[in-house]
Every structure is written in structure tokens, then in C-alpha cells.
Amino acid sequence: MSVHVGSLDLVSPVMCASGTAGHGAELAPYMDLSLVGAVVVKSLLHGPWAGNPAPRVHSVDAGMINSVGLQGPGVQGWIDNELDLLVASGASIVASIWGRSVDEYRQAAELLAPVAHALTAVEVNVSCPNVEDRDRMFAHSPQSTRDVLVATQACNVPRWAKLSPNIMDIVPIAAAAAEGGAQAVTVANTMIGLAIDVEKRRPRLGKGRGGLSGPAIRPIAVRAVNDVATALPDLPVIGCGGVVRGVDAIEFLMAGACAVQVGTATFADPRAVQRIHAEIDEWCQSHNVANVADLTGALTTQGPT
């Protein structure tokens, strides 16, 4: 069940997705975090950040919509208050960082450098508005994506770029992330959505729009993974979006991902990552697949036969 992601070996292909497993060891009472592929912590700005007005989460038919707004203690606050507990849990730790400008990403990466020995990787969440580019998402511009990846080298650990699915062609963005030094890309973040309370004639979320996640977005994310894996076969892809069962993860692997992340499913079942790992293992045994890594890119036809 172990997999390679760039230069890294993970004990499992299933990781906790950023923002859905807390900042630290919150899930440790539910499962042995040392058996999880990696725990990607909630994205951190260089300094503390208050996030968006409530309500911040709302359940929709096939998932959820959120506008948490990247609330967090800042990189130093996280190092001081959360990191030791997470290290003690035995988890492979992936710190996630975000910024509103290239320089804010640089600052966040520099603050992580002194604890590089405790980190497996840094996931650079480029699915955030760039104040220097008319609030366009970094991940919607190859140039901005490349600039952010170059600026985050100082963290001194392998970097993954967390991309946005809200774009027609994700391949040039993935290529730009790799040119900037990303060892892998995580595909993908949430889809932008709007849920309305028709009685109040108001958006369900305090911010208005939010990020749609869960099974509703899985076929979009699987397609985006396949786009990147097909066009850039040497770039490891981590699939993310609507993984709830083992077979969902296997879809991502067959589309070309080398590992997956689980987000929304954890809200319904805090042991989802552990369960999905076991379901993949069972599927592999019943289908005579010796190594889960053999499933990566195993998609053979473009449609039903």
C-alpha cells in the first residue's frame, strides 16, 4: 500500500486534505495518524488570519459548500502550539501555506525553514486571490503560479502545488508549478459555488459564494487529474475531490494520480481516511493487484466497452 510521490515514500496512498483535518493532531483520537499517507494541515498565512463571517459551512445534496476563509494562527503560531503534538502522533506532516501576494508566500515559507526536519512536504495552496493581480487566483495564471513556487523554495522541503479546478485548462498551470520547483501537484481544490436560502432570499454563507466539495465535484477532479497526468506524465499528481469510498480513490489512481486526499468525507466520518485505505487494500486483494501503485494510470479506454 506504500506509494512514491516525487522523492517521498508514503505508507499509504490516502492522506487528509488541507482544511478538513484541523491544524494539528485533532484526528489522533480517531485513528493512528502514523498509518495515514500524510496529514496536510489547514493552510497557513505567514501571520494570524481571522477568516470569513459565519455561517461558513453548509451541507448541499452531494457534498458541502464552505467559506471558512483560511482562518488560522499563522505559521509561527502553528509551530508554537500545534506542531509538537502532531509530531508526537507519528504523522507524516505536510504544512500548507497560502498568501495574498508572492511576498506573503515567501514569508510563510521562510518561517517554516527552521522546522523543515519535522515536515514531509509543504503544500503551496495557490487557489487563493492575488491582490497584486486584480484578485485573480494565483492558480489561474501560469506566471503567478510559477512565481509563488519559486518564492517558496526557502522552506527547504519538497513542495506540492494545490491547484484550482475552476479553469478550462489546468495543464499550463501544472506545468508552471513544476517549472517553479513543485515536485507534485494536488488536483484539486474546491469549485466555486453559490447556495441560496430562498425564504430569506440570501446566500447560505456569510461571505456569499463558497467552495463546493464532496462527491458533487469528483468527476471534475478525476477529469482534471487525467488531463494533467496525460499531458505531463513525469509530474506526480495527487487526486482530491469527493473521495468517500475506496473505489472513489481507485478512480483517481486509474486516472493517473499516485495518491489521493480526503476532505469532506472526514466531516461525516472522522475515520474516513483509515476506512478508505482498508477498502483500497481489500479491492487490490480481490482484483489481484499486488501493489496499489500499479493502479496509477491504469485507465485503458476512453469510454465504456
Ligand X SMILES: Cc1cc2nc3c(=O)[nH]c(=O)nc-3n(C[C@H](O)[C@H](O)[C@H](O)COP(=O)(O)O)c2cc1C
CB-wise, 176 or 273, nearer to ligand X?
273
> Which one, of 90, 67, 87, lies nearest residue 19 by Cα?
67
Long-range Cβ contacts of 233-236 (<8 Å, 24+ apart): 233/297, 235/174, 235/175, 235/178, 235/182, 235/184, 235/185, 236/4, 236/5, 236/6, 236/183, 236/184, 236/185
Which CB, 96 or 120, lies closer to ligand X? 96
Q: Which is nearer to ligand X, 167 or 289 (CB)?
A: 167
Asked if 159 and 124 touch (Cβ cutoff 8 Å), the reply is yes
Task: In whole angstroms, give the CA distance from residue 76 to residue 80.
Answer: 6
Residue 219 CA, chain-centre distance (Å), reads 16
Which of the following is catalytic: 128, 155, 240, 284?
Answer: 128
- Judged by beta carbon, residue 49 or residue 283, the one nearer ligand X is 49
Min CB(157)–ligand X separation in Å: 17
Q: How far is the CB of 279 from ligand X (least distance, A)?
A: 15
Q: Is the peptide bond before 53 cis (omega within 30 degrees of 0)?
A: no
Give the residues lining the site for ligand X (CB under 6 A). Answer: 17-20, 42-43, 57, 64, 66, 68, 70, 96, 125, 162, 189-190, 213-214, 217, 240-243, 262-265
CA distance 116 to 156: 6
**Cell numbers standing for residue 156:** 527547504
Q: Say whether 284 is catalytic.
A: no
Measured CA to CA in angstroms, residue 294 lies from 2, 139, 250 at distances of 11, 30, 11
CA 4, 252, 178: angle at the middle one, nearest 5?
55
Residue 235 is inside which H or E element, if any? none
Nearest residue to ligand X on Cβ basis: 19
Instruction: Decide whether 64 or 280 has the Cβ nearer to ligand X.
Output: 64
Alpha carbon distance 188, 242 (integer Å): 10
The burial of 264, by beta-carbon neighbours within 10 Å (0-12 exposed, 13-18 middle, 19 or more buried), is given as buried
User: What's the min distance (Å) between Cβ of 31 and ligand X?
Assistant: 16
Phi-psi region of 90 (alpha: psi -120 to 50; beta: other; left: phi over 0): left
Q: Which is nearer to ligand X, 20 or 145 (CB)?
A: 20
Q: Which residues carry out catalysis? A: 128
